Amino acid sequence: MSSVDEQEFANVDLEAVRESLKTWYRENHREFPWRETCEPYEILISEVMSQQTQLGRVVEAWEAFLEHWPTVEELAEADRGDVVTFWTAHSLGYNNRAKYLHEAAQQVVEEYDSEFPSEPDELQELMGVGPYTANAVASFAFNTGDAVVDTNVKRVLYRAFDVPDDDSAFESSANQLMPAGDSRIWNNALMELGGVVCGQTPACDDGGCPWRAWCQAYESGDFTAPDVPTQPSFEGSRRQFRGRVVRALGENEGVELDALGPKVRVDYTPDGTYGREWLRGLLDDLAEDGLVTIDEFDDSTVVTLRR
Ligand code: SF4
């Protein structure tokens, strides 16, 4: 991967951002069998299958495929017609992908002595393996990939760190964000966050997003993204204000209730409609989600962001 130039994230605690996402992934990710293996052949099959098919349906096809052809050598020796027939029978999309997969297996056996190359550039030499798939296999099998940038990742980066909607900006930011030499867990985690929590309609609180404390969209309430041109309709101001609380506490260590109020709403007045009671409601929710701690003293209430 490219060297970590942390300039673009100068005001962000990168270590905390990275650790929070990795921890969230370890504790929450969906279990797919190809996430349990480092075998490049098995990972390549899962990547090619999931290009046109929903992940849930890929599981069965992937298992059946590996039962038929458990190793790259066995696939290389298979009759191409059988591979294509399998592909069609499992509704896996373009038959060409099956033909390419078969040809790639023959390449691995003949040109690489049955050992998959481990670098993205070399993997791209295999038939039908483009830059995205090569990088995914390098990451998940060998931990040697660059940051993966797909639609889900772009959506997350755009929302969380205000990365402009530009392919080279996404690529550069994604690589700066990725911890060096950790592409396996990192790429899985970031794609999972975009796929499960930061979807077109994000589930910031309900999904327990680990990046709420840093996310620009969570702070501003603007959840548009390159693939979400208009604001998701669910978005209410309450979420927006919760984001502001988190942001304000991120910048200040331990804030008294009435000092916090004006940072959240310009029209905050302690006894008004948007006063202590209203703010306390937001804070209680955030405390329940484990994001803030509320300390009651005789004459004050102090709120702190949990880190
Ligand atoms: S806080 Fe919400 S918008 Fe921001 S990264 Fe998390 S899920 Fe996406």
For residue 198, report the distance from its CA to the centre of ligand 1, in Å: 5
With cut-offs at 50, 70 and 90, classify the pLDDT of residue 152: very high
Digit-coded pLDDT (tens) for 76-92 = 999 999 999 999 999 99
Q: How many helices (H) and strands (E) does the chain have?
A: 15, 3
With cut-offs at 50, 70 and 90, classify the pLDDT of residue 1: very low
CB of 160 within 6 A of ligand 1: the answer is yes
Which whole number is the average pLDDT over 290-300? 91
Q: Name which of 196, 291, 301, 202 is nearest 245 in CA terms.
A: 291
Buried residues in 79-118 as b, exposed as e (16+ CB within 10 A): eeeebbebbeebebbeeebbbbbbbbbbbbbeeeeeebbe
For residue 96, report the distance from its CA to the centre of ligand 1, in Å: 37
CB 133 within 8 A of CB 47: yes
Digit-coded pLDDT (tens) for 67-123 = 999 999 999 999 999 999 999 999 998 999 999 999 999 999 999 999 999 999 999
What pLDDT, on a 0 to 100 scale, did the predictor assign at position 237? Answer: 63
What pLDDT, on a 0 to 100 scale, did the predictor assign at position 5? Answer: 45
Ligand 1 atom nearest to CA at 203: 7
Q: Residue 100: what residue type? A: Y
With cut-offs at 50, 70 and 90, classify the pLDDT of residue 127: very high
CA torsion sign for 158, 163, 166, 169 is negative
What pLDDT, on a 0 to 100 scale, did the predictor assign at position 233? Answer: 67
What pLDDT, on a 0 to 100 scale, did the predictor assign at position 273? Answer: 80
Q: Pairing between strand 292-296 and 255-256? A: unpaired
Query: Which residues are part of the catalytic machinery?
Result: 47
| Model confidence, pTM | 0.74
250, pLDDT greater than 60: yes
Residue tagged 């298992």 (tokens): 63
| Complete DSSP assignment for 251-262 | HSSSEEHHHHHH
**204, 238, 246: residue to mutate for ligand 1 pocket, most atoms within 8 A of CB:** 204
CB of 157 within 6 A of ligand 1: the answer is no
CB of 58 within 6 A of ligand 1: the answer is no
Q: What is the C-alpha separation between 114 and 280, in angstroms, rounded?
A: 63
Which whole number is the average pLDDT over 201-206? 86
